[in-house]
Copies of this chain bind each other. A is one copy, B any other.
């Protein structure tokens, strides 16, 4: 079984190392040895540590490598949309099996890749694209196929989870926690893709597609990052017995016309500390699945890093190699359900709102009236002295709502901001997970 490796960065180097260290085990598990046919890189001669491979295997001609007749499996760990897309489409059309860790490409253009795989007759595996080493796609693709998944809630970005965990533990603000994450190597020099939720949104699209047998692309995902999360938000969450996580949520629902829908979103939210996702700390990832018969499931592990990602890549390489030796291919993705993706405004969410209000009679009535006008039902109200400003004239109102359409909740907050008696809206966060 001959492999073409596209890319030789952190993950690629770990793939090479694991292939070397485990070669006897891998051969036994597959029934044939794995051999590297070539490694495509952008520049030759770059220092890649003391990789246990022949220098002659490196090439800058990725397309030439892919097209070689003696290549069975193409492993792509380059990332990004182009040239990865052209390479993989070429490989799949040529009947090669493909293993990729490229979440951005899958979320952007997974349909084209799946079609190319179906035409060429090879496999397309991508376990490493979501939540790194955590075996997640296979359970969703296969183990839960006899069940009906209702909701997937995940912490799928390690950088933001590290930052939010640090804010929760130390009371630091976002900027300070981001600096720490950067210093420790948990955040990249340009952290935009992580902190603005782009990375999580791509993974949410992949998870939703699998869980609901429906094509969901990155553009279908409502996305909010964590840059607006403040130390005051974290304190509010703690006062509620909650912690703040950047969640990706894909939920089955029914729209007002009775049609089944799916809503897919990424945003920070408060969850109760008793929720299994609350204790997922540092840069770990976890995905919580709720299904009709199986009930609650959670998958937990390292979401990034060279070795964990390489582990997931190699698991896929073993699977597609076995399939090729047996002359079969895995069941293709199914998107038969074809559920409509619901806009964020219609998604059902709950809000936690902290207000700094004037301390005088009638304030609560006015505030409650705004919620009522938008048809939003209030679950709890807590009144205290103005947060962080002891001795100041004023009061703090903390309101948690029942579920309502997100647009109604957002409109409620907008109107609250305009009330004369509301001095400021100190914290607005969605709330997920039953206490």
Given A297-B133, A298-B300, A308-B295: A148 in contact with B25 (beta carbons within 8 A): yes
Q: Select the stretch in A139-147, A228-236, A384-392, A423-431 that faces chain B.
A: A139-147
Given A135-B297, A302-B296: A143 in contact with B315 (beta carbons within 8 A): yes
Q: Kindly identify which residue among B143, B293, B298, B318 contacts A138, using a CB–CB cutoff of 8 Å.
A: B143
Q: How many copies does the complex hold?
A: 2
Check B317 against A295 for contact (C-beta < 8 Å).
no
Q: Is A319 an interface residue (CB 8 A)?
A: yes
Q: 0/1 per residue, A243-267, Cβ < 8 Å to B?
A: 0000000000000000000000000
Q: Is A18 an interface residue (CB 8 A)?
A: yes
Residues of A that sit less than 8 Å from B by CB: 14, 18, 22, 25-26, 28-29, 127, 133-135, 138-139, 142-148, 213, 276, 279, 291-302, 305, 307-308, 310-319, 322, 326, 328, 331, 334, 336-337
Check A135 against B146 for contact (C-beta < 8 Å).
no
Check B308 against A293 for contact (C-beta < 8 Å).
yes
Given A148-B25, A299-B299, A300-B298: A143 in contact with B312 (beta carbons within 8 A): yes
Check B301 against A298 for contact (C-beta < 8 Å).
yes
Check B291 against A311 for contact (C-beta < 8 Å).
yes
Give the docked Cα–Cα distance between A216 and B295 (Å).
30
Check B127 against A315 for contact (C-beta < 8 Å).
no
Q: Kindly identify which residue among B146, B310, B315 contacts A145, using a CB–CB cutoff of 8 Å.
A: B315
A126 smallest CB distance to B (angstroms): 12
Check B307 against A295 for contact (C-beta < 8 Å).
yes
Check B311 against A146 for contact (C-beta < 8 Å).
yes
Check B293 against A146 for contact (C-beta < 8 Å).
no
Residues of B within 8 Å of A310, CB to CB, are 146, 293
Residues of B within 8 Å of A317, CB to CB, are 146
Give the docked Cα–Cα distance between A145 and B312 (Å).
9
Give the docked Cα–Cα distance between A133 and B135 (Å).
15
Residues of B within 8 Å of A331, CB to CB, are 322, 326
Q: Kindly identify which residue among B133, B135, B213, B319 contacts A29, using a CB–CB cutoff of 8 Å.
A: B213
Give the docked Cα–Cα distance between A22 and B213 (Å).
14
Check B146 against A318 for contact (C-beta < 8 Å).
yes
Check A133 against B300 for contact (C-beta < 8 Å).
no
Residues of B within 8 Å of A144, CB to CB, are 135, 311, 315
Residues of B within 8 Å of A299, CB to CB, are 297-300
Residues of B within 8 Å of A318, CB to CB, are 142, 145-146
Closest residue on chain B to residue A318 by CB atoms = B145
Give the docked Cα–Cα distance between A260 and B302 (Å).
27
Closest residue on chain B to residue A319 by CB atoms = B142
Q: Kindly identify which residue among B295, B302, B336 contacts A133, using a CB–CB cutoff of 8 Å.
A: B295
